[in-house]
Amino acid sequence: MANFNTARLAEDIKREISTAMRDIKDSTVAKAMVGVSRCELTSDLSFCKVYITTLDGGETTKTAAEHLKKAEGFFKRRINERVKMRKLPQLIFVADNSMDYYEHISEVISKLPKPADENDGGDGEREDE
């Protein structure tokens, strides 16, 4: 039961942070088009890792994460207004590099040699008999 509750709370926190990002006045965050990819909440509800991503990726995401760390109080206040919790977790903003990893994997796959045609007898059966 505790896993379900922490997962539900993590989704609630993710939703509230996403909506609160519309109201943030930091120009770096506004220009970068920051989004929350996922939240991980510890079982004792003391820490919440917020994974953020941007359309540009890379260094822009790291810069946006640093700026969002400065606005932690703003996000905690917004979460406190809408999500009922005994204790508000400390928010840890982490740059999510999954999109960069996806692009790297796509490049590796595109460089692989193309498979041979199906008519080359790749299944091991002979047609001349």
Q: Can you give the CATH number for the domain in which 79 is found?
A: 3.30.300.20
Q: What is the per-residue pLDDT across 59-110, written as a single tens digit (0 to 9) for each?
A: 888 888 999 999 999 999 999 999 888 889 999 999 988 777 777 888 888 8
Compare 26 and 42 and report the one with higher pLDDT: 42
User: How many other C-beta atoms lie within 10 A of the C-beta of residue 42?
Assistant: 13
**Residue whose C-alpha is closest to residue 44's, from 6, 95, 9, 1:** 6
The answer to whether position 129 is within a domain reads no
pLDDT value of position 99? 73
Give the number of domains in the chain: 1
- Residue 15, number of CB atoms within 10 A of its CB: 15
What value, to the nearest 5°, has the Cα angle with vertex 20 and ends 86 and 101? 100
Would you place residue 117 in the very low, low, confident or very high pLDDT band (cuts 50, 70, 90)? Answer: low
Residue 51 in domain: yes
